[in-house]
Structure 1
Amino acid sequence: MTDFLVLKSGTYHVRLDVPEDAREAFSGRKVLTKSLKTGNRSDAHILKLRWLQQWKTEIEKARRGEIVNFRDDVLQIVEKHQRAINQDKIQGKPASNETKMGFEVIQYAHDKKLSIDFVNEAIDIAAGRSDYSPKTPFFKSRLDAFYSYELNQRKVDLNTVDRHIKRVKALDAFLKSENLLLDYEAVGSFLISKNLEAKTKKQYLFSFNAFYKFLIQKEPSFKERYPINPFKSHELSHVRRGTLKEDERRAFTADEMNTLHGKAIEMGNRRLADLIEIGAYTGARIEEICRLKISSVVKEDGIDCFHIKEGKTQASVRFVPIHPKLMKTVKRLISASDDGYLLKTSKGGKYGTKSKGLGNQFSIFKTGLGFDKKSVFHSVRKTVITTLERADVKNLVIISLVGHKADGLLRMTFDRYSEGPTPLSKLNAVKYLKYKFAS
């Protein structure tokens, strides 16, 4: 198609592809279309020029960040008033709510300083004369409102909120690419397309349900349009037992741990060596290690311990006994610290993660030694757990040491009523962790 015209059911439509870098201003639409309301090709060639010129101008403005996605905003105004307008019509009342909606649309256009063409289009959308129709309800303004609500009112941490938005946008992009409307079947198709573990799919549904719950509370019109939650009761397939997971992370062997630690020292990277050593003797997560302070080194029941005060879950808060072989390193780090932390790092990235820099260093370091993507710093944690399990250390001691949450039948007894294993019993457990680290 070189003349931008498409004939549908005897009527010509003008059609223009939207470049990828301008699609956000058009609700992610890849194509703009408009009925020219004529079956005469000569007339269509003339009528198309207005729309092509307008759209190309919009696209250029969108690329420069000068255009707001006003169409979805206008549709939200319409949805907000639609129920009251319908009630007026049924009851034969004056169209006061329709007038109210019209005034709000005009005020919006004025506030956004829309051009006269955009104002006219906004009025057409409000009056039902426009053929503009969003493929999904995931308007940018809704996502922005949801983002603000989760972050500022519900006090959800920034990382989680960003994950919510990223997952909703992924669903939005899928529905648009597949030309699907939001419903239960479409969500099911999206989950199948992701080819992810059931656990990860649950996280997607958790984000979708949070967004749905927010909207039905804030926008009654949304609940009318989607009275049945399309994100509920999805069956998630699990990997069959006995099926090899190709990307499963593996534990380092004791010899590999010795190699990692030794090579870090050989390269003069003592901080990386200290990170590896603390991880090897505690099984702590990398962020937990990087957040250890001088004040984190305490005595609990007479046992020298790391007091980990925050982490991934409530179970992360725990006392981890300091292995006798680790004490020399800990004392050295305490003596050398000038910022109160055992390992000197700086907060990195959007979320202020203290382990970001060291984590990147470890990734480059282990790859240089020939380790593949199955071997990551979290593999050190697997090494500790595997070693303790093979030494027949009690499950509850291992759970308590590494900061996991007791599950299944153990949850009631261990999580609710038990105060956990003693520091001495945990110290006796970590003594099974044996390496040949250079001092």
Structure 2
Amino acid sequence: MVLLRSTKRYTLQDKYIVKKKGKDTYQFNMRVPKALMHLYPHKTFITRTLGTACIKTARIRRDRIVGEIAAQKESAYSNERVAFLAFVDTLKEAKQEARGNRYEAYYQLSTQDLLDTDSFPKAQLAASHSVETGNIPEGYRPTIREALHSWLERNTRRNADTLSKIKTTTDKFLKCCGQFDIELESIHRKDVLNYIELTIDSYSVSTVSGNLSRLRTLYKHAWQIGLIEQRPCPFSDHDLAYYKESTTQKTQMFSAEEVQTIMLWANSQQNAMADITKVGLFTGMRIGEICSLKAEDVHIENDVMAFFIRKGKTNAAQRTVPVCNELVPTIRKRLSILEPEALLFGMNGKQASRDFSHFKIESITKDKTKRFHSFRVHMATAFSRAGIDELTAAFILGHKGGKTMSYGYYAKADELQRLKEATEKAVVVIKRDWLTHKGQTTMPELT
């Protein structure tokens, strides 16, 4: 079969799309990935008809096939390991049928004749040894990808973010090891320490700790389903305190120019990032607190609007946060179209955090001490410059010291009014010190 590319100029947009000579319909044609050669024996290319003469439709169908192949690669094991497992099953069945009779095929024929193939000769010898002795030779033992695949099959109801993170973490660990897959029993503590050293400069201590937790989950799962015998987990009991002390730096404020650039970017977004970002700047709330707000968490009393933070990072995070006049019109507009139980900003906190971080790294700075959390420092500084007492500022920001105030979770009307006045004074400072450019306030209208 002769395959020709489209007569049009070939581009990456049409990668893997070809035409059979004399035919109008497109076909998919990709070289078999090394990790999947065992699934496509005696084949060099994966070829499928796309069943269309329309290039746009062909691209859509091509993308679907590429996705399927990517999923196959994700769950693929070593070719030798796959062959070994198949050979073990065949030899065990033959041995069971022989029932100790030395004249049966299992005892009379060679392993190659029993398996009826000359492929993977080393795997054949390993399978024969394993069936005879009960021991699995090194190079054919269960791998971390097998544990991952099994865990994914048994945890399909987990949320997409959890599934994605455990797959990504496994891939990154293997990349650090310089291998596509690795035997679980070949992973030693020194390998994990090396992984920590290689990643600690690129990720926060909490991220590295989370990655170790996911890898530990896979290792425990492998033992639970009998892939490995119980043994000390190389991913457990790593003291990251040293790294935390050496890498932890105080959150820094953005410059006035950076704040203005951030606000212009936020306002250009098609989602709720403009509102979320401005609420962060003018309240000092954490991004998770903002995105967790529901319409029913907005309280209005005597024309004073406030947010009720029901859950937070700490006990002190449960508080009443007054809404400044700058934000009131936008919040009212959102309330007019939302059910009480609906999220006020309709955006997941993790997604909002990723969007902000991506923009910050690409367009503002790679400095890890400058992040969305910096807006809390801006607000705290604004309270100080406005002459607001520390206890009031601590209560509004949800700092530990604020719990000593008598306001409690729900501030009363007169107390809420005092909190609102303090907030308005801080907002004046924020506009003056970070949003003013050449004598004018730079503040795009909220969407």
* Cα distance between partner residues in 1 of 2:349 and 2:247: 36
CA gap of 1:238–1:421, structure 2 versus 1, over 3 A, is farther
- AA matched with 1:297: V
CA gap of 1:357–1:240, structure 2 versus 1, over 3 A, is closer
Q: CA deviation at 1:192?
A: 1.6
* Cα distance between partner residues in 2 of 1:428 and 1:76: 72
For the pair 1:222 / 2:228, whether they are aligned, the reply is yes
For the pair 1:25 / 2:27, whether they are aligned, the reply is no
Corresponding residue of 2:58 = none
CA gap of 1:331–1:299, structure 2 versus 1, over 3 A, is closer
Q: Which deviations, in whole Å up to 9, do the C-alpha atoms of 1:55-77 show, x marking residues without a partner? A: 99466469994896464356678
Q: CA deviation at 1:188?
A: 1.4
Q: Which deviations, in whole Å up to 9, do the C-alpha atoms of 1:322-365 show, x marking residues without a partner? A: 2344323322443466996655x6x6xxxxx477489748965x
For the pair 1:192 / 2:193, whether they are aligned, the reply is no
* Cα distance between partner residues in 2 of 1:330 and 1:303: 12
- AA matched with 2:295: I
Query: Which of 141, 146, 160 does residue 146 from structure 2 map onto?
Result: 141
Kept in 2, the 8 Å contact 1:280–1:383? The answer is yes
Gaps of 5+ in 2: 1-29, 48-65, 100-114, 432-440
- AA matched with 1:329: T
Q: CA deviation at 1:210?
A: 1.6
- AA matched with 2:208: K
* Cα distance between partner residues in 2 of 1:307 and 1:278: 14
Q: CA deviation at 1:182?
A: 0.8
* Cα distance between partner residues in 1 of 2:215 and 2:46: 32
Corresponding residue SS for 1:143: helix
- AA matched with 1:371: I
CA gap of 1:264–1:191, structure 2 versus 1, over 3 A, is closer
CA gap of 1:164–1:380, structure 2 versus 1, over 3 A, is same
Q: CA deviation at 1:158?
A: 3.2
Give 1:242-257 correspondences, 5 Å limit: 250-252=252-254, 257=259
Identical amino acids, percent of aligned pairs:
19
Kept in 2, the 8 Å contact 1:136–1:182? The answer is no
Give 1:195-344 correspondences, 5 Å limit: 195-196=200-201, 197-219=204-226, 221-224=227-230, 227-236=231-240, 238=242, 250-252=252-254, 257=259, 261=263, 273-286=274-287, 288-290=289-291, 292-299=293-300, 304-308=305-309, 319-335=320-336, 342-343=344-345
CA gap of 1:136–1:203, structure 2 versus 1, over 3 A, is farther
* Cα distance between partner residues in 1 of 2:426 and 2:97: 73
Kept in 1, the 8 Å contact 2:147–2:219? The answer is no
Kept in 2, the 8 Å contact 1:397–1:421? The answer is no
Q: CA deviation at 1:290?
A: 4.8
* Cα distance between partner residues in 2 of 1:126 and 1:172: 26
Kept in 2, the 8 Å contact 1:182–1:230? The answer is yes
* Cα distance between partner residues in 2 of 1:431 and 1:239: 40
CA gap of 1:124–1:201, structure 2 versus 1, over 3 A, is same
Q: CA deviation at 1:304?
A: 3.3
Q: CA deviation at 1:143?
A: 0.5
* Cα distance between partner residues in 1 of 2:123 and 2:192: 30
CA gap of 1:230–1:371, structure 2 versus 1, over 3 A, is closer
Q: Which deviations, in whole Å up to 9, do the C-alpha atoms of 1:146-169 show, x marking residues without a partner? A: 2344553xx5x4323422332233
* Cα distance between partner residues in 2 of 1:280 and 1:120: 66
Query: Which of 167, 174, 177 does residue 176 from structure 2 map onto?
Result: 174
- AA matched with 1:159: D
* Cα distance between partner residues in 1 of 2:325 and 2:156: 43
Q: CA deviation at 1:183?
A: 1.0
Give the TM-score normalised by structure 2.
Answer: 0.54
